[in-house]
Structure 1
Amino acid sequence: MARLQAYSGPMTALASAALFGASTPLAKLLLGGGLDPWLLAGLLYLGSGIGLGALELVRAARGRPSAEAPLERRDLPWLALVVLAGGIVGPLLLMVGLTHTPASSAALLLNVEGLATMGIAWLVFKEYVDRRLLVGAFAILSGAVVLSWQGGPTVFGPGATAIIGACIAWGIDNNLTRKLSSADPVQIAMIKGLVAGTVNLILAATTGARLPAVPEIALAGLVGFLGYGVSLVLFVLALRHLGAARTGAYFSAAPFIGAVLAVALFAEPITIQLLLAALLMSGGLSLHLAERHVHEHAHEAMEHAHRHVHDAHHQHGHGPQEPAGEPHTHAHRHQPMVHRHPHYPDLHHRHGHAH
């Protein structure tokens, strides 16, 4: 059981990457039909927001309370920054960059997001990252680079600079979302999808984009629901268990997953690039999956609310108004504790490390 729990974070991150990676060839299919890229971005985000909102309405109609902690007023500034960075600034810079950058260069540059996420987590938010994890993360990122490379020069002009800026915005988004990871991931993804989708559709309309036929809208919405909505829910859960650096590294496998799906769906050839990317990514993932970070560490007293079971970190009593079943959510207090066991930089293990 302990081993399964240790793997739940990585598997959740990889599932998130799989859904997002699968959305890429399907989005390319829609773009191949003449759909405006900016309009498609809006439809994908709206599909995620509306789809998750529909699930919330169904849950509420059945009288089934959520087992997750709801967003609180103190979370709103972080949520606003997440939507601004990841749902507005990132797509805006990407669209600007794509108008001035060859497709091969753009695909290569988009892999900067994984590196930005890890770098910000490591340097700004002081997540612990050892040499083994750095090697694994760069192996995964190298696989994504190899997969995206199509030859030709990469000119770092205004377009490339804008794309790099978009990746940095998404790296900031991923790290700020970590601040919200104890709250309901469905709420977070729903709000982000609705706001970002609306803004992107408005921006697309100002450029003269027109809505496609209903079947294309429905397909874009479905792809957005799975590839952006459900994927983001899983990404937030992975952030809760792994922290931003490790989640970002696992998520960098998304281009490879998308390429494999493209081979299966569209009979694309199996290339040397694909095989080399598979080798690099599998090596990097194996380094991460084999991680065993163990040392004696101290937990300070803290109080928060999130979904939990009564494990070694949650030995608290319950009042008459608090839920009895598990898992459940309520505000609870952690007493100071010193112990030793394998752990990730999750909600309860964001402590410093001596070097």
Structure 2
Amino acid sequence: MSGRFNPALTALLAAALFGATTPFARVLLGSLSPFMVAGLFYVGSGVGLAVCLIVKRTSRAIVSASEHHQHEGRIAASEVPWLLGAIVAGGVAGPALLMLGLATTPAATASLLLNLEGVLTAVIAWVVFRENVDLQVFLGMVAIVAGGVLLSWHPGAAGVPLGALLIAGACLCWAIDNNLTRKVSTNDAMVIACLKGLIAGPVNLAIGLALGAHFPSFAKTAAAMTTGFAGYGASLVLFVVALRNLGTARTGAYFSVAPLFGVALSLLIWPEWPSALFWAAAALMAVGVWLHIRERHEHAHTHEPLEHTHRHRHDEHHQHTHDFPYTGDEPHSHPHVHARITHTHAHFPDIHHRHSH
């Protein structure tokens, strides 16, 4: 499929931005409460994206007066529960559990342990939302799970460390978030990410203040918000775009490389030679990601009639007429209808390929 490379690159860039936040979060945790860090990250994300939206809307002031731009940024009432669920799971519970886990877990180990998010995302997508799974994708997830088990296992220790369990809990929250976000992924990705930041940020800050935390200095506040804008804001925008084009499980798989960027930064900040278990886990996770990257899914499939709204170009899936004066600009957004069509090409379970097998 022609869009294969760009969506994958988008997911990988999202992963790089998010992975880099883990060591920075650990640095900030030296003096701030977990809820304060999470709150500042999301406030920075929400405020930063709000400014970007204002700039974007202002720059389109003339064009947006036309009908085909009036639908951008709107979220249907039927989709609001999905978005709120995603915000609660991924914007409140997930970051709080991660920050608590980071307080007692080495940053490099925590970064690789975050690979479990991709696995749990795929499991929920396959079991609950019936997204298709190929053997190669399944084997890749098995490799990633095995790597996560190695990271959680400490010889001679009784049970799994609490910090690892908390980080695994954060991954489960984000997995739920990813699957719920897919339900609204046809909407403006920047609006979705902005709303999450503006809602989840104040909630986390309120919890932190209620528990006795205090706002840090201006320099630390600015550093946390800037980190949040890149790692939680821009990253989420790219992630939602990838969800739209790759489906939930595949996007989660590409996103699994996020810890590799976190590990690289962690080892630069805290130089030390990782243990053999660490390298074994990294190798297993790398194999899992490689299996996902080399997947090719192609078969004859039928598109049932569908009506929805999202930004699109007039590719083979968007051959339609317009009921408004069309100037020829692409991509653009407006309600459009897909006619029934049967054809064969390589594809992912994106917003146009959510069919049964």
1:21 pairs with 2:25: no
TM-score (norm 2): 0.87
Q: Could you tell me how far apart the structure 2 residues matched to 1:321 and 1:48 are?
A: 36
TM-fit CA distance, 1:327 = 1.1
Match of 2:297 among 272, 293, 301: 293
How far 1:149 moved relative to its partner? 6.0
Query: 115-124 or 312-321, which moves further after superposition?
Result: 312-321
Q: 2:35 aligns with which of 24, 27, 38?
A: 38
Determine if contact 1:117/1:175 at 8 Å carries over to the other structure.
yes
CA distances 1:260-286 after superposition (whole Å, capped 9, x unpaired): 122345544466456444533332222
Partner Cα distance (2:42, 2:174) in 1: 15
Equivalent residue letter for 1:252: S
Q: Which of 225, 239, 248 matches 2:252?
A: 248
User: How far 1:306 sits from its partner (Å)?
Assistant: 0.7
Pairing of 1:139-178 with structure 2 (within 5 A): 139-143=143-147, 146=150, 153=157, 155=159, 164-178=168-182
Deviates more, 1:317-326 or 1:176-185: 317-326
1:50 aligned residue:
47
Q: Alpha-carbon deviations, 1:147-166, whole Å to 9, x = none?
A: 67665636369887665544
Please give the residue correspondences for 1:194-209 in structure 2 after superposition, counting only pairs within 5 Å.
194-209=198-213
Residue 72 of structure 2: aligned partner: 69
The answer to whether 1:315 aligns with 2:319 is: yes
**Counterpart mapping for 1:184-195 below 5 A:** 184-195=188-199
Give the partner amino acid of 1:249.
A
Give, in angstroms, the shift of residue 204 of structure 1: 0.1
C-alpha contact (below 8 Å) 1:104/1:148 kept by paired residues = no
Residue 103 of structure 1 corresponds to: 105
Unaligned 5+ segments in structure 1 are none
Change (3 A) 1:229 1:331: same
Quote the offset at 1:301 in angstroms. Answer: 0.3
Q: Quickly say closer, same or farther: Cα 1:275–1:94, change in 2 above 3 A.
A: closer
SS for the counterpart of 2:300 is: strand
- Residue of structure 2 equivalent to 1:210: 214
Residue identity in the other structure for 2:305 = A
For residues 50-100 of structure 1, the C-alpha deviation after alignment (integer angstroms, 9 at most, x for no partner) is: 1101111122233356778322333212111111221123345556x649x
SS of 1:319's partner is coil
| 2:57 corresponds to 1:60 | yes
Question: How far is 1:215 from its partner?
Answer: 0.5
- CA distance in structure 2 between the aligned counterparts of 1:151 and 1:45, rounded to whole angstroms: 37
Give the superposition deviation at 1:323.
5.3
Q: What is the TM-score when the length of structure 1 is the normalising length?
A: 0.88
Amino acid at match of 2:59: R
Number of aligned residues: 348
Cα distance, 1:313 vs structure 2:
0.6
In the alignment, which residue of structure 2 is the partner of 1:137? 141
For 1:182, the equivalent position in structure 2 comes to 186
Pairs within 5 Å for 1:82-121: 82-93=86-97, 98=101, 102-103=104-105, 107=110, 111-121=115-125
2: CA distance, partners of 1:141 / 1:73: 37
Q: Residues 98 and 143 from structure 1, CA distance in 2 versus in 1: closer, same or farther, beyond 3 angstroms? A: closer
Cα separation, 1, equivalents of 2:133 and 2:205: 39
Aligned partners of 2:79 and 2:184 also within 8 Å = yes
The Cα offsets for residues 152-187 of structure 1, whole Å up to 9 and x where unpaired, read as: 636369887665544322211110000111110100
Separation in 2, partners of 1:232, 1:84: 15
Residues 119-173 of structure 1 show CA distances to partners (whole Å, capped at 9, x for unaligned) of 1000010011111111122324444555676656363698876655443222111
TM-superposed CA distance for 1:248, in Å, is 1.3
Partner of 1:226: 230
Paired amino acid for 2:32: L
Secondary structure at 2:32 match in 1: coil
Cα 1:37–1:196 shift into 2, 3 Å: same
Distance in 1 separating the partners of 2:154 and 2:254: 23
Q: Distance in 2 between matches of 1:88 and 1:22?
A: 20
Separation in 1 of the partners of 2:356 and 2:88? Answer: 29
The alpha-carbon distance between structure 1 residues 31 and 158, as it changes in their structure 2 partners (threshold 3 A), is closer
